[in-house]
Structure 1
Amino acid sequence: MSQHRALLVPDVLLVIFEQVNHSTEFRRSSRKYLAALASTCKAFHEPAMDLLWADMNGIDPLLGCVTRLHPMIYGGDKKHDFSTQHFCSQSVDPLSEHETRQFLRHAARVRSISITRDSHFHLISTLPVDICIFPRLLSLSTIRTLLPPRYLHLFLSPMLRRCVIPEIQLDLKVLVTRCAALEDLSIIFQCGPSREISPLSNSTSFCLCKQLVNLRCPPVDWATWKDLSKLPTLLTVWIHGKVLYPFGSDDFNSVPSLKITHLYFSVDSAAYIIAVMRNFEFPLLKGVKVNVDTLQRAEADLLLRALSQCSACQTLERVVIFAGESLVQERSGNLFTPIRQLFCFRQLRVLKLIFPHCCSHLDNDLLFEAMSSWPHIRSLELRDLHLRSPAVTFRGLFAALRLCPHLQKLRIFMDAAHIDIDPTTESFQHTSLHALDLESPDVRDAEAIARIIFYMLPCVHKINQVYGGSQCWEACEEVNRHLITFKSSSVIGRQIIGASSSQS
């Protein structure tokens, strides 16, 4: 039977085979189909084989191409259990020269490899140190410390674009020298009692990553931050892990500028974040995310003040700051209104503040001032577990909502016990808001709250109570029950009268 002419076009074949590769539920089934296609005819062989070997989980499938190892890899040899470390280290010799050629036969087709388990690396210990077994590899991911450092060079392809690697395995200079095309680098922090200082400290290797776009790494020192400021392509920096050495303002004698658009921190030291924000400019910054173990009031004020002074007032659209409970009980003392530091960000779309005292002294006037400062806001979440006496009322809430017509999600701590608005006399409706979480310590009239939501927030179908005890949860559920009743009555043409509805 002759083939359709379309099947002789390489691009058409590639589309068909990619569909086969992704249409099956199980990876094993798709590999079986691709193997069958590869053996169908010469025209199918190359594109099918390229897809068959494109994504690998370890090097075991390549070891299975070695005649001696095939029965052990695929379970044909019942005498030996190839998965045991004892058998691997004691009973199997490394590859010979001839077997190395068998092993490398399909290695050039591999585009992505993930090391998630012991892949018997001792078997390739005879490979030359200057060889890369995957010359066209685009993505390398090693989880935990399963890839011994002495074998790392075998995976460093000159075409490598994405690399995820534990810090303990890292020779950064070798990596960036051999992988000049690297665009996405994730260095996973390794913590332990024997660690004293990050090997990334005092590193000047990042300046070699001329095409780096995204970087995720443990906290780095001043010299490394200066290197990052020299990278023209860098857009995202994510700093995570434990700060292992001092990083104070005394280290700075200039204010370098980084043209990154997104900056993320997940560290144990707020002082480190404050130092970075205070001593660098980020004129193109669009998003900031901070996750820190604790954040005292003074630190929160310094952090937000440094953020407001980092030259991003015209660009910043997203701010997320999360911290756990304060370890030290702080006095109320001076007026603390952290959101005032963010009023300069007129382009703000998303604001999420979850840390102690973030809502201190938030009242109707301050909420109105905040909303007038953020006309483009889409999502606003202010959560403070320390707040016990909220001052924002329904009238203040709706006065603020008039200023932000694009708001879609709102989570705020407010006084839901004080009903100071009659929804039946108000003509205002906010039709963009569809997710509403009311954090309130006291709900006295669930029906009145449901009526306000029904009349003035038509796209909100229920409210959520994230924090609080069983009493708060019950009050929230009661509001939702009334809201369901009101909406059902409206659909079937009834008039809402109290908690129950009567036929009009």
Structure 2
Amino acid sequence: MHQLLLISELLELIFEYIDEPATYAQLASVCKDLKEPSLDALYADVRCFPRFLTCMPSDLWCIQNQRFGFKRDVIRDDWDKLYSYAKRVKTVVVEKNNRDIFVADEVAEALLKLSPFPTLFPQLHTLYIYGYEHFEPIHYVLMAPTLRSLYVRDIETSCFLDGAPDLPTLCPLIEYFSCWDNGNLRLPGRMKKMTDTLSRLNCLRSVDCGPLDADVVEHLSGVKHLSSIRAPVIASDSWIGLHVGIPALDDLRLQVDTFETFSQAVWALFTHPLSESHADQPLARLRSVTMNVSQLPGTAPITGPSTSPSLITSALAACVSPENLTTIKLADYWTSTQTTGRFTHADLAPLCVFAHLTSLTIKFQSQPLSLDDAQLADLIVHWPRLTSLHLAKLERPLNLASLIAVLRACPDLRQMELLIKAEPTDVTALLRDPTSSDGIVYDDTTGCSLPCNTYVTWMDMYHATEEPEDAVPFARLLHRILPSLKSCDRSVSSNSDAVSAQEARQWLEHTRRTPNGRAESFRGWRTMFWQLVFALMRGEEDLGVSGDMGTSASTVIRVRDQFRSLLGHVLG
């Protein structure tokens, strides 16, 4: 075997890339040198724990009525056989449902109390527990001291913590802990048990365990490698008035009842005690922040006018370092659709300091975005690194000028949700010289050449008139600025039920001549208009696009596709 394949880290990368259990099994049976690493890869990830136990001698166990049990006493050879596989396991999923087998309690007791090994799973790092109503003996078996990640769902949290009362002692190295259920997470008994648990876990990196109290938040502020907090927060939470000064986080996700609560939470988490001057404090190094406003269990419905969205943005600008923040997601997905205010240019302006943003999402049902073309153009130039932009629920659609401004300011944009209304006059205004010998050439009103984005494939866009004669100039423009566009309005795609340009024109003309035809076929009309535009963009007719502009876009796409094909061939 080549000496490079003796490097364990390289072998791990190779098997991670293969990611095919059948291939692992074949390699283990036909290649002596690769047997051990193949078995390591094959048994590293156990998705059904009861079926994993069938690796033990077949005369030891039986399955009756979906119940895995032992037929005889377990002897040393049985333990050795089990351990030869268990020592390779790194991830286990224990899920209880009506379709799969389950481990009998007496089997779990035997695994827990009779095993001759200090731990059956010396490499176990990640454990998922799903679908159980109570903490069961089988869970104890898997509480290995090496455990780094623990994810618990469905078990009522108090029941789980009652069953594993000394989790910090059983698994002191836990770094990623997620434990919540659909009940009222703010019951005093539940919060006390969670506080007692979290306050003794000193290696935490990520916490997703429902509401936090002041003791937990203060404990987390001193955890050296903390990287992620996810929690519901309400105005009455005890830690809101604190200033704990967490220096850095990779990810903060807060579900809040109001904008003001989010603002107070940010100040509490990232500023130091009030005895220190805020101006002299270092800003928190936060990479990603997500805020969702919704009614939380055990709280009153959100009523009345909302506070100003500027509370959100000004808190982030005041407390978070602009050098680190790359992702902002602000939403109120589960609130009433009744409008209670506006998200304006002034509210967004504080975010202009975050020049390193790569993803910006703002989706408010109750606070629609109120921006015009000039205001968006003023904002977007501050975020040149954006690859994802989602500005949903605009109070009114923006014009093509906004689309041009976004594409020019953010050349690496891959995803864009921005409602654009294309007016025929705006399309015409971009036509520089229709009589040019080089063909149709487009420019903006300042004389600058138009941007060309070859990544965006979907847009929330519509044409103001959607007349058949509008399709050609519109397709020319889109071919120039968005040559990869294949879908709009979420329901119209060039790849599904595509029709030819001729068929689309015939349908549009026939429907237009029919009395009330267009009004009665509104959705169909829009779909067919876009099918015509996409057919033209696919090149079914000569658009007359100039060689220096249109060809460059198609050339970029062709070179990009060739590179991807070559890369796939090399990796394959």
TM-score bin, normalised by smaller chain: 0.7 to 0.9
Write the distance in 2 (CA, Å) between the matches of 1:327 and 1:59.
45
Query: Structure 1 residue 142 and structure 2 residue 162: aligned?
Result: no
Separation of aligned partners in 2, 1:404 and 1:46: 49
Secondary structure, aligned partner of 2:353: coil
| Alpha-carbon distance change, 135 to 325 in structure 1, aligned in 2, over 3 angstroms | closer
8 Å contact from structure 2 (residues 185, 210) kept in 1 = no
Partner of 1:179: 171
Contact 1:261 1:287 in 2 (8 A): yes
Aligned-partner SS, 2:422: coil
Pick closer, same or farther for the CA change 1:409–1:333 going to 2, 3 Å: closer
Amino acid at match of 2:388: S
Q: Deviations over 1:255-278 (max 9, x none)?
A: 422411222235677665444223
Counterpart of 2:106 in structure 1 is: 122
Does the alignment pair 1:423 with 2:423? no
1:64: Cα distance to partner?
5.2
Q: Is residue 2:455 matched to residue 1:466?
A: no
Tell me which moved more, 359-368 or 113-122.
113-122
The answer as to 2:309 corresponding to 1:287 is: no
Aligned match for 1:398, one of 375, 379, 404: 404
Residues 25-424 of structure 1 mapped to structure 2, 5 A cutoff: 27=21, 29=22, 33=26, 36=29, 50-56=40-46, 57-62=48-53, 65=56, 68-70=59-61, 72-73=62-63, 81-84=64-67, 101=79, 104-106=82-84, 107-117=86-96, 118-126=102-110, 127-128=112-113, 132-145=119-132, 148-166=135-153, 167=157, 168-170=159-161, 174-187=166-179, 189-192=180-183, 196-197=187-188, 199-201=190-192, 203=195, 205-206=197-198, 208-239=200-231, 247-248=236-237, 251-265=240-254, 273-281=262-270, 283-293=284-294, 297-298=306-307, 300-324=309-333, 326-327=335-336, 329-330=338-339, 338-356=347-365, 358-384=367-393, 387=395, 389-390=396-397, 392-399=398-405, 401-417=407-423, 419-421=425-427, 422-424=429-431
What CA distance in whole angstroms lies between the structure 1 residues aligned with 2:137 and 2:286?
39
C-alpha spacing 1:461/1:230, structure 2 compared with 1 (3 Å): same
Q: 1:410/1:309 Cα in 2 relative to 1: closer, same or farther (>3 Å)?
A: same
CA–CA separation in structure 2 for the residues paired with 1:193 and 1:212: 24
2:273 is aligned to none
After TM superposition, the score normalised by the length of structure 1 is 0.75
How much has 1:176 moved relative to structure 2?
Answer: 3.1
CA distance change for structure 1 residues 361 and 231 in 2, over 3 Å: closer, same or farther? same
- Output the CA distance in 1 between the equivalents of 2:371 and 2:332: 19
Q: Does 1:450 align with 2:451?
A: no
Report SS of the residue matched to 2:166. helix
Q: What is the distance in 1 between the residues matched to 2:122 and 2:490?
A: 51
Q: Which amino acid aligns with 1:158?
A: P
Q: Residue by residue, what CA displacement relative to the aligned partner does 1:380-413 show, whole Å, maximum 9, x if unpaired?
A: 221107x3x33x3223443454443443433212
TM-score, normalisation: structure 2 = 0.67
Q: Is the 8 A contact 1:62 1:103 kept in 2?
A: no
* Cα distance between partner residues in 2 of 1:348 and 1:17: 34
Q: How many residues align?
A: 465
Do the aligned residues in 1 keep the contact of 2:240 with 2:264 (CA within 8 Å)? no
Asked if structure 2 preserves the Cα contact closer than 8 Å seen for 1:17 and 1:48, the reply is no
**Equivalent residue letter for 2:369:** S
- The amino acid across from 2:532 in the alignment is R
Matched residue SS, 1:223: helix
Long gaps (5+) in structure 1: 1-5, 74-80, 497-504
The verdict on how the C-alpha distance between 1:493 and 1:364 changes in structure 2, with shifts beyond 3 A counting, is closer
* Aligned-partner SS, 1:381: strand
Instruction: Please give the per-residue CA displacement for 1:62-110, whole angstroms capped at 9, x wherever unaligned.
Output: 365256533x24xxxxxxx2514xx96xxx6895576874675433333
Aligned residue number for residue 3 of structure 1: none
Paired residues of 2:260 and 2:307 also in contact (CA < 8 A): no
Distance in 2, matches of 1:145 and 1:320, equals 33
CA root-mean-square deviation = 4.4
Q: Contact 1:278 / 1:306 at 8 angstroms: preserved in 2?
A: yes
Q: Point out the more displaced range, 10-19 or 330-339.
A: 10-19
Tell me how far apart the structure 2 counterparts of residues 307 and 340 of structure 1 sit (CA, whole Å): 12
Shift in Å, 1:24: 8.4
Deviation at 1:305, TM superposition (A): 3.3
Percent identical among aligned pairs is 18
Q: In structure 2, list runs of 5 or more residues that go unmatched.
A: 97-101, 271-282, 296-301, 433-442, 493-518, 548-572
**Counterparts of 2:202 and 2:491 in 1: how far apart (Å)?**
47
User: In structure 2, what is the Cα distance between the partners aligned to 1:401 and 1:9?
Assistant: 46
* 2-structure distance, mates of 1:9, 1:335: 59
Q: Which residue does 1:11 correspond to in 2?
A: 6
